[in-house]
């Protein structure tokens, strides 16, 4: 059985680098940073004071003023990114195509603010003062589910929690679902909100201070994955084709190798690597070493860049923002500027995206310029 | 992608028994795992009962020092995974680590860890938060901890699709085997008893006072439970080659989304998942011998589920045995459909259907055959495992006897 080809036909993105694809692309190519002093809460008690918050984001402007009252930030981020992606893809969900569309979202914390606040309210005020309408926000799959409810998407709805690699793992779940014929279109990607709980988690673990301090971000990227036939039939604009995916436990070399194998590409075909690097030195060195080992002599000349110095480390949403950067690179035929190395590529045909953190799953995805049949 | 996948091992940690044999004998005896909640003080709540596992000792399954560094949901999952592997007759040394993966479903993740963090935060402020607890919380640790304990390096995912998560995990694990991404998969679900879930369901007025009575006219709601269920999946050919004992074949599965409401169950969405599962399995509705229901015992769930059953099975619904083991275990959240998949596998293997206990008064809206109060010996070639979750997410798994004669 020949593999169904899967293409990317839409993109919706919200991050500290702005709302929508145009703002995001412009900022990563101009090297404009979204990192600013934290506005979500008072940082007086903490030595870390900056983050990449999505400040330009107004949920009301995208979703309208109604029905937002009980929704948390994760839901608003992912629902808004979905709306932008649907518009970008000229895709209208109707009763007749609703069952052919699926949702696969990567998030590991869900809305940890919602979960923690719900419990703390009971601890502080007593159980009977807790608002039952907020309970649905405490399940990790609530952001993804609200996307289906808001946009009437009935094919399937899945959430993937794999830490730093969750966006790519969710996209791969979507690709698999398309190949198994479970849908024709999958809205895939990720979401993480910036909140005091997430900040405290990373801060107390020692990730946000000292040498190699990480700066957190937030956001949501939704990528419209579509089987080629469906995209062609509706004359959708095609950004790129998904060629390969690989995943491994704490092993960038293996995840990259598997993605190349699935793509049927030799390592030297890769024109650009969008790296998982945040500021954690130990972890960046691990990825760099894996690239060196896998790409051999070419490694020095291979453009490698990370958007995290600009957008912040957005944990499970990172991969979705990185795919957006890769799409921009293919569109502009240019590699976003980098603090990692200054190499440029004469053309950008194949982009490899790396995700992962200090521990856990590493996933790699290859997306390529679409070249027709 | 047309590779056949079979279940060759089951592991379960539950309030009615730990390990397959204890679980199954309690299940067909109609034993209840419900007791007064002791893991936290319930005096401020309107209800006080749940399905806690009172006799689970992590050190029976892993190094005590290691166990002290992990959350309870991980510990339950590790125990179930080890029980499953040993039930499958697979020794760790025989596994190809790169080709053995773990997919775990959950609703609340390591809820108890977050609850501890919250206790300290509320009582004594940010300074009191114990940094050592933090890395134990994020949901992705569930499958990572299982993989680390068993030294497995294959596909590793957590699918937190709430109360249907186990079925999503088992379904995707089968996909991974069919795509040759793995040779053996450990798939299922886990949840530790969650104060947050208990609080939420109480606030929704969905919790029964003492007993869960699915399909009964006087049913008063669900009961929060905990547990873990894991199935060992491998390609049929590999299982035959190593002469493994086969519980059942995973004939197929179906997913659907109501796109309707976060908490209200919805017959049309449930129906769609069942129909997709039957279609994927190439099995006619009338060939189903046992329907393991989501059966939470809330008025709305059981009504909508019975409506969906009638829509799918037509007149045959009166002959179809439909039972809810949540009557015994309570609702084990993300573990529920995984434990129910274990029950289905055992039902197919043993030709016995577990009962719905606590059943007293028939409800015209739920006039299915709920196998009331006593297990039934009947040939079970095909069992269907239906699950629904918050967000309107439905997942249905079809298990088939192997060999089918």
pLDDT digits (tens, 9 = 90+) for B198-251: 999 999 999 999 999 999 999 999 999 999 999 999 999 999 999 999 999 999
Nearest to A202 by CA among A309, A313, A75, A355: A313
A72 and A201 in a single domain? The answer is yes
A269 and A342 in a single domain? The answer is yes
The verdict on a CB contact (< 8 Å) between A148 and B259 is yes
CATH, domain B5-241, list 1.10.10.10, 3.30.1540.10, 3.40.47.10, 3.40.50.300: 3.40.47.10
* Cα within 13 Å of Cα(B54), Cβ side: 11
Written as six digits, the tokens of B292 are: 């393991």
Quote the pTM value.
0.98
Q: Output the pLDDT for position A297.
A: 81
Q: Stretch A123-142: mean pLDDT, rounded?
A: 98
Q: With a CB-CB cutoff of 8 Å, which residues 269-288 of chain A face chain B?
A: none
A193 and A81 in a single domain? The answer is yes
Q: Output the pLDDT for position A284.
A: 84
Question: CA angle, A106 as apex, A235 and A88 as ends, to 5°?
Answer: 25
Higher pLDDT, A52 or A298: A52
Band the pLDDT of A2: cuts 50, 70, 90.
Answer: low
**Nearest CB to B114; choose among A115, A142, A159:** A115
B269 CA to chain A: closest CA distance, Å?
8
A195 and A58 in a single domain? The answer is yes
- Taking the CB of residue A371, how many other CB atoms lie within 10 A of it? 8
B176 CA to chain A: closest CA distance, Å?
9
Query: In the CATH scheme, what is the code of domain B251-400?
Result: 3.40.47.10
Tell me the chain A residues in contact with residue B259 when contact means C-beta distances shorter than 8 Å: 98, 148-149, 151-154
**Nearest CB to A148; choose among B2, B202, B392:** B392
Nearest residue on chain A to B203, alpha-carbon basis: A132
Q: Stretch A140-166: mean pLDDT, rounded?
A: 98
**Nearest CB to B122; choose among A124, A135, A144:** A124
The verdict on a CB contact (< 8 Å) between A119 and B196 is yes
Q: Stretch B273-298: mean pLDDT, rounded?
A: 98
Written as six digits, the tokens of A80 are: 């808004």
Q: Is residue A373 part of a domain?
A: no
Tell me the chain B residues in contact with residue A130 when contact means C-beta distances shorter than 8 Å: 199, 203
8 A C-beta contact, residue A168 and residue A357 = no
CA B213/CA B197 separation, integer angstroms: 20
Q: Is residue A310 part of a domain?
A: yes
Nearest to B380 by CA among B311, B321, B293, B319: B321
Q: Output the pLDDT for position A341.
A: 60
Q: Tell me, yes or no, if A249 comes closer than 8 A to chain B by beta carbon.
A: yes
Q: Does residue B352 come out as left (phi exceeding 0), alpha (psi in the -120 to 50 range) or beta?
A: beta
Q: What is the pLDDT of residues B8-45, one digit of tens each?
A: 999 999 999 999 999 999 999 999 999 999 999 999 99
CA B201/CA B208 separation, integer angstroms: 10
**Nearest CB to A205; choose among B118, B131, B257:** B131
Single residue among A202, A233, A264 that ends a domain in this structure? A233
Q: Is residue A76 part of a domain?
A: yes
Nearest to A312 by CA among A113, A27, A109: A27
Tell me the chain B residues in contact with residue A204 when contact means C-beta distances shorter than 8 Å: 129, 131, 134
Tell me the chain A residues in contact with residue B262 when contact means C-beta distances shorter than 8 Å: 136, 142, 145-146, 149
Q: Stretch A213-236: mean pLDDT, rounded?
A: 97
> For chain B, what are the domain ranges?
5-241, 251-400
8 A C-beta contact, residue A316 and residue A163 = yes
Q: Tell me, yes or no, if A131 comes closer than 8 A to chain B by beta carbon.
A: yes
Q: Output the pLDDT for position A337.
A: 80
Q: What is the pLDDT of residues A323-348, one digit of tens each?
A: 999 999 999 999 998 655 667 778 99
Mutation for B interface: A140, A166, A191, most B CBs within 10 A:
A140
The answer to whether residue B163 is catalytic is yes
Nearest to B293 by CA among B238, B355, B241, B244: B355
Backbone phi and psi for residue B387, each to the nearest 5 degrees, phi listed first = -145, 145
Nearest to A95 by CA among A177, A151, A145: A151
Query: Which residues lie below 8 Å from residue A373, measured CB to CB, with a gap of 6+?
Result: none
Query: Which residues lie below 8 Å from residue B170, measured CB to CB, with a gap of 6+?
Result: B103, B187, B188, B231, B233, B250, B253, B337, B338, B341, B397
Question: CA angle, B198 as apex, B142 and A146 as ends, to 5°?
Answer: 70
- Give the bridge partners for A343, in sequence order: none
The answer to whether residue B294 is catalytic is yes
A229 and A248 in a single domain? The answer is no
Backbone phi and psi for residue B95, each to the nearest 5 degrees, phi listed first = -85, 145
Q: Stretch A212-220: mean pLDDT, rounded?
A: 96
Here the CATH number for the domain that contains residue A302 is 3.40.47.10
Q: Which residue blocks in chain A are alpha helix, DSSP H?
A: 21-30, 59-63, 73-88, 112-125, 142-151, 166-179, 196-204, 228-233, 252-263, 281-295, 308-311, 318-332
A281 and A190 in a single domain? The answer is no
* Cα within 13 Å of Cα(B105), Cβ side: 34
Mutation for B interface: A139, A148, A151, A262, most B CBs within 10 A:
A139
CA A154/CA A247 separation, integer angstroms: 28
The interface predicted TM-score (ipTM) is 0.98
8 A C-beta contact, residue B263 and residue B204 = yes
B139 CA to chain A: closest CA distance, Å?
6
Q: Output the pLDDT for position A191.
A: 98
Nearest to B388 by CA among B304, B275, B314: B304
Q: Is residue A149 part of a domain?
A: yes
Give the range of the structural domain holding residue A327, as residue numbers without chain letter: 244-368
Q: Is residue A239 part of a domain?
A: no
Tell me the chain B residues in contact with residue A135 when contact means C-beta distances shorter than 8 Å: 199-201, 203-204, 263
* Cα within 13 Å of Cα(B65), Cβ side: 0
Query: Which residues lie below 8 Å from residue B33, measured CB to CB, with a gap of 6+?
Result: B14, B15, B16, B26, B51, B53, B225, B328, B329, B330
Band the pLDDT of A1: cuts 50, 70, 90.
Answer: very low
Q: Which of helix, strand or coil describes residue A349?
A: coil
What are the Cα distances from residue B243, in Å, to B86, B87, B183?
Answer: 15, 13, 16
Q: Is residue A238 part of a domain?
A: no
Q: Stretch B74-94: mean pLDDT, rounded?
A: 97
Q: Output the pLDDT for position A359.
A: 87
Please give the share of chain B, as a percent, with pLDDT higher than 70.
100
Q: How many domains does chain A have?
A: 2
A55 and A187 in a single domain? The answer is yes
Q: Which of helix, strand or coil describes residue A49?
A: coil
**Nearest CB to A149; choose among B44, B139, B262:** B262
Q: Is the pLDDT of residue A60 over 60?
A: yes
A75 and A215 in a single domain? The answer is yes
Q: Does residue B242 come out as left (phi exceeding 0), alpha (psi in the -120 to 50 range) or beta?
A: alpha
Q: What is the mean pLDDT of chain A?
A: 95
Three-class secondary structure assignment of chain B: CCCCEEEEEEEEEECCEECHHHHHHHHHHCCCCCEECCCCCCCCCCCCEEECCCCCCHHHCCCHHHHCCCCHHHHHHHHHHHHHHHHCCCCHHHCCHHHEEEEEECCCCCHHHHHHHHHHHHHHCHHHCCHHHHHHCCCCHHHHHHHHHHCCCCCEEEECCHHHHHHHHHHHHHHHHHCCCCCEEEEEEEECCCHHHHHHHHHCCCECCCCCCCCCCCCCCECEECEEEEEEEEEHHHHHHCCCCCCEEEEEEEEEECCCCCCCCCHHHHHHHHHHHHHHHCCCHHHCCEEECCCCCCHHHHHHHHHHHHHHHHHHHHCCEEECCHHHHCECHHHHHHHHHHHHHHHHHHCEECCECCCCCCCHHHCCECCECCCEECCCCEEEEEEEECCCEEEEEEEECCCCC
Nearest to A272 by CA among A184, A364, A360, A195: A364
Looking at B174, B212, B306, B331, which residue is catalytic?
A: B331
Single residue among A186, A204, A233 that ends a domain in this structure? A233
**B3 preceded by a cis bond (ω within 30 of 0):** no
Single residue among A181, A198, A233 that ends a domain in this structure? A233
CA A119/CA A25 separation, integer angstroms: 39
Tell me the chain A residues in contact with residue B135 when contact means C-beta distances shorter than 8 Å: 205
Q: Is residue A1 part of a domain?
A: no
Q: Is residue A32 part of a domain?
A: yes
Q: Stretch B119-127: mean pLDDT, rounded?
A: 97
Q: Output the pLDDT for position B2.
A: 82
Nearest residue on chain A to B253, alpha-carbon basis: A182
């Amino acid at each position: 059985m020949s593999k169904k080809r899967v293409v990317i036909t839409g993109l919706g993105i919200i991050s500290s680098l702005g709302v929508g694809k145009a703002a995001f692309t412009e900022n990563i190519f101009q090297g404009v940073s979204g990192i600013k002093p934290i506005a979500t809460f008072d940082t007086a008690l903490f030595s870390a004071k900056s983050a990449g918050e999505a400040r330009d984001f107004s949920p009301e402007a995208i979703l309208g003023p109604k029905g937002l009252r009980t929704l948390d930030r994760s839901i608003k981020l992912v629902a808004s990114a979905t709306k932008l992606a649907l518009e970008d893809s000229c895709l209208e969900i109707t009763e007749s195509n609703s069952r052919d569309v699926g949702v696969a979202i990567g998030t590991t914390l869900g809305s940890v603010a919602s979960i923690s606040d719900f419990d703390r309210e009971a601890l502080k005020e007593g159980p009977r003062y807790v608002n039952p309408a907020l309970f649905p926000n405490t399940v990790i799959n609530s952001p993804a589910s609200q996307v289906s409810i808001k946009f009437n998407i009935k094919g399937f709805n899945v959430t993937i929690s794999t830490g730093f690699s969750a966006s790519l793992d969710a996209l791969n779940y979507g690709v698999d679902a398309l190949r198994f014929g479970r849908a024709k279109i999958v809205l895939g990607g990720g979401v993480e909100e910036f909140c005091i709980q997430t900040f405290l988690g990373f801060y107390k673990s020692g990730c946000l201070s000292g040498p190699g301090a990480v700066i957190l971000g937030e956001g949501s990227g939704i990528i419209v994955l579509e089987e080629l036939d469906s995209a062609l039939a509706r004359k959708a604009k095609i950004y790129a084709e998904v060629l390969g995916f690989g995943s491994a436990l704490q092993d960038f070399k293996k995840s990259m190798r598997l993605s190349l194998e699935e793509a049927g590409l030799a390592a030297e075909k890769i024109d650009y690597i969008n790296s998982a690097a945040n500021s954690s030195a130990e972890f960046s060195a691990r990825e760099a070493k894996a690239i060196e080992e896998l790409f051999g002599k070419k490694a020095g000349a291979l453009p490698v860049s990370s958007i995290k110095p600009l957008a912040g480390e957005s944990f499970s949403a990172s991969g979705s923002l990185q795919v957006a950067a890769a799409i921009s690179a293919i569109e502009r035929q240019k590699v976003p500027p980098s603090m990692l190395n200054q190499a440029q590529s004469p053309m950008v045909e194949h982009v490899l995206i790396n995700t992962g953190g200090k521990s856990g799953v590493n996933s790699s995805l290859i997306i390529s310029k679409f070249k027709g049949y | 992608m047309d590779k056949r996948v079979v279940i060759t091992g089951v592991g379960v940690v539950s309030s009615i028994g730990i390990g397959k044999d204890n679980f199954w004998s309690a299940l067909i005896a109609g034993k209840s795992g419900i007791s007064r909640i002791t893991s936290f003080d319930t005096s401020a709540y309107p209800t006080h009962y749940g399905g806690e596992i009172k006799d689970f000792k992590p050190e029976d399954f892993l190094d005590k020092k290691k166990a002290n560094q992990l959350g309870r949901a991980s510990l339950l999952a590790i125990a179930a995974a080890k029980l499953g592997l040993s039930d499958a007759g697979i020794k760790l040394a025989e596994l190809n680590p790169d080709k053995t993966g773990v997919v775990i479903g959950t609703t609340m993740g390591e809820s108890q860890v977050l609850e501890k963090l919250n206790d300290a935060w509320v009582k004594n402020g940010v300074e009191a938060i114990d940094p050592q607890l933090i890395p134990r919380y994020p949901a992705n640790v569930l499958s990572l901890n299982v993989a680390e304990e068993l030294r497995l390096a294959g596909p590793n995912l957590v699918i937190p699709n709430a109360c249907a998560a186990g079925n999503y995990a088992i379904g995707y694990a089968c996909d991974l085997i069919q795509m040759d991404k793995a040779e053996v998969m450990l798939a299922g679900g886990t949840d530790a008893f969650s104060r947050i879930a208990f609080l939420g369901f109480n606030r929704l007025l969905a919790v029964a006072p003492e007993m869960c009575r699915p399909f009964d006219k006087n049913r008063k709601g669900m009961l929060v439970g905990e547990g873990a269920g894991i199935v060992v999946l491998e390609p049929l050919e590999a299982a035959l080659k190593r002469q493994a004992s086969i519980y059942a074949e995973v004939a197929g599965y179906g997913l659907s989304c109501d796109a309707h409401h976060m908490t209200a169950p919805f017959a049309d969405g449930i129906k769609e998942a069942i129909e997709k599962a039957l279609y994927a399995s190439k099995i006619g509705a009338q060939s189903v011998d046992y329907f393991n229901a989501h059966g939470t015992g809330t008025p709305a769930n059981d009504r909508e589920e019975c409506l969906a059953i009638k829509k799918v099975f037509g007149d045959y619904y009166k002959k179809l045995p439909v039972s809810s083991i949540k009557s015994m275990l309570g609702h084990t959240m993300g573990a529920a459909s995984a434990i129910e998949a274990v029950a289905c596998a055992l039902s197919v293997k043993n030709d016995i259907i577990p009962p719905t206990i606590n059943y007293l008064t028939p409800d015209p809206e739920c006039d299915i055959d709920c196998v009331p109060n006593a297990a039934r010996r009947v040939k079970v070639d095909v069992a269907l495992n239906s699950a629904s979750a918050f967000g309107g997410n439905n997942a249905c798994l079809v298990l088939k006897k192997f060999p089918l004669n």
